[in-house]
Structure 1
Amino acid sequence: MHTVIVYESMYGNTREIAEAIAEGVHQADPEAAVDCMPVAEVDAALTRSADLLVVGGPTHLRGMSSGLSRRMAAVSESRKEGHEDAAAEARETAEGPGLRSWFHDLPKTEPGTYAAAFDTRVSMPGAGGAAEGIAHRLSSHHYDVVAEPEGFIVESADGPLRTGELDRARAWGAGLV
């Protein structure tokens, strides 16, 4: 089985969740080939080779990020003292393609190609989540979404992840297999 995990990450939290999901897939199927990559590095050929495509991103303004929300996040992070590494990752992500534009280039697939969606989000009323929008876009590209969209909790907009979320991501990844 070949699993491709595509993620967009501003502060490293979504990347950590994606990597934990990859570990979970390997735990459930040690023979699985798993590619876990940022959205800017994933092309159509790689997605076409996947038996399972897992896509995730941060929640911005109650949904998927946009070019504007990524730029706003990068500016905000750059103003925080002691956050140089997170600010660099945020700038790099803001300058590259996000999931919204990546989906424009994602080829439609044949039914029977599996996918799943996840996001990182804060736990507060009205915060929303990006995973539902990601799952909807996967479905519109004819992927069979095999799990309910999943949200993983960060303590504040730029993290850290809530205690136990990496373990939960590993279990979720294993459950996808």
Structure 2
Amino acid sequence: MHTVIVYESMYGNTREIAEAIAEGVRRADPGAAVDCLAVAEADAEQTRSADLLVVGGPTHMHGMSSGLSRRMAAAAEGRQEGRETAAAEARETAAGPGLRSWFHDLPTTEPGTHAAAFDTRVDMARSGGAAEGIAHRLAHRHFDVVAEPEGFIVEDNDGPLRAGELDRARAWGAGLV
């Protein structure tokens, strides 16, 4: 089985979740080929070869990020002392395509190609989530969404991840196989 995990990450939290999902897939199927790619690195050929496509991103303004929300997040991160690495990752992501534009280039697939969606989000009332929008866009491209969209919790807007979320992501990834 070939699994492709595509993620957008501003502060590293969504990347960590994507990598944990990849570990879970590998544990459940040691022979699986797993590619874990930042959205800027993922092209149509890589997704076309996947038996399972897993897509995730951070929650911004109750849903999927946009160019504006990525620029706002990068600017906010740049104002925090001691977070130079996170600020650099945020600036790089803000300058890149983001999931919304990536979906414009995602080819429609044949029925039977499996997919799943996840996001990172804060645990606050009415904070929303990006995973539902991601799952909707996958279904619109004729992917068979095989799991309920999943949200993984960050403690603050820029993290860190809540304790236990990486283990939960590994289990969720294993369950997709």
Question: By the TM > 0.5 criterion, same fold?
Answer: yes
Which residue does the alignment assign to 1:28?
28
Matched ranges for 1:82-121 at <5 A: 82-121=82-121
Which residue does the alignment assign to 1:16?
16
Which residue does the alignment assign to 1:147?
147
Which residue does the alignment assign to 1:79?
79
The alpha-carbon deviation at position 32 of structure 1 amounts to 0.1
Which residue does the alignment assign to 1:44?
44
The alpha-carbon deviation at position 72 of structure 1 amounts to 0.1
Q: Secondary structure at the match of 1:34?
A: strand
The alpha-carbon deviation at position 124 of structure 1 amounts to 0.4
Give the gaps of 5 or more residues in structure 1: none
The count of corresponding residues between Structure 1 and Structure 2 is: 177
Q: What per-residue deviation string (whole Å, max 9, x for no partner) do you get for residues 99-150 of structure 1?
A: 0000000000000000000000000001000000000000000000000000
Q: What per-residue deviation string (whole Å, max 9, x for no partner) do you get for residues 22-81 of structure 1?
A: 000000000000000100000000000000000000000000000000000000000000
* Separation in structure 2 between the aligned mates of residue 81 and residue 46 of structure 1, nearest angstrom: 38
Report the TM-score when normalising by structure 1.
1.00
Report the TM-score when normalising by structure 2.
1.00
Which residue does the alignment assign to 2:66?
66
Q: Which runs of 4+ in 1 moved over 2 A?
A: none
* Separation in structure 1 between the aligned mates of residue 124 and residue 41 of structure 2, nearest angstrom: 32
Identical pairs, percent: 83
* Separation in structure 1 between the aligned mates of residue 100 and residue 107 of structure 2, nearest angstrom: 14
* Separation in structure 1 between the aligned mates of residue 61 and residue 104 of structure 2, nearest angstrom: 21
Q: Secondary structure at the match of 1:6?
A: strand
CA RMSD of aligned residues (A): 0.2
